[in-house]
Amino acid sequence: MKDELDNLFESHKGTFDTAKAPVNHLARFMEKLHQKETAVKTNNNWLRPISIAASIVLILCLGTVGFSLVDTENSFASLPPEMIKTETFFKSSINTELQKLKAFNDPELQEIITETLTEIDLLEAQYSDLKEDLSQSGNDNRVIAAMISNFQDRINLLQEVQETLKDITTLKQNNDENIL
């Protein structure tokens, strides 16, 4: 199809040119075209980092939700009934705090958020080890206390980081206002 169109235009090449273009027409056209290309490029400078950050947040959210669902199913089978209620409460609180943390979408804060999520992952790995210890120890109260302490550590970490991020955001806004 493309070859047919090329052949058609090639065979009628002289019949289409009925008027002469003004002097420097091509140069002005190329200049305008170049200006539009640079304008489009400058508008998309912020799009790539934002889309990468949004993708990372989406992957982390889906991973956290998926991990929580799998973890909950596996954990309930080996825990005593009162610990199941405690675990459900703390996991709900942690997920709420994680959502609050992920609501900070400033690219300058992403490094802090990523480091915090890494710390949370480490604490979750420690919790998994504690769960195994609990099943091996026959529901030892010291292990249960360590598990609860682990949950509290995660919540405290998330809350402290949120406060820090709020402070950074406030300072940044105050600096921006002072500059203006």
Q: Is residue 141 part of a domain?
A: yes
pLDDT for the residue numbered 120: 92
What SS3 state is found at 1? coil
Q: Which residue has the higher pLDDT, 107 or 121?
A: 121
pLDDT for the residue numbered 76: 47
**Which pTM was predicted?**
0.54
Whether the pLDDT of residue 180 is over 80: the answer is no
Question: Pseudo-torsion of CA 82, 84, 90, 93, nearest 10°?
Answer: -120
**Total domains present in the chain:** 1
Whether the pLDDT of residue 56 is over 90: the answer is no
Q: Is residue 2 part of a domain?
A: no
Q: Which residue has the higher pLDDT, 119 or 174?
A: 119
pLDDT category, 73, cuts 50, 70, 90?
A: very low
Q: Is residue 179 part of a domain?
A: no
Q: Is residue 11 part of a domain?
A: no
As a whole number, mean pLDDT of residues 99-104 equals 86
Q: Is residue 54 part of a domain?
A: yes
Whether the pLDDT of residue 74 is over 70: the answer is no
Q: Is residue 6 part of a domain?
A: no
Q: Is residue 67 part of a domain?
A: yes
Tokens encoding 33: 């075209």
Q: What value does the mean pLDDT of the chain take?
A: 79
pLDDT for the residue numbered 45: 65
Tokens encoding 130: 């504690």
Q: Is residue 85 part of a domain?
A: yes
Its domain, for residue 165, covers 47-174
pLDDT category, 25, cuts 50, 70, 90?
A: confident
pLDDT for the residue numbered 49: 73
Q: Which residue has the higher pLDDT, 39 or 133?
A: 133
88 to 9, 36, 81, 113, 160: CA distances (angstroms) = 72, 56, 11, 24, 22
Q: Which residue has the higher pLDDT, 22 or 38?
A: 22
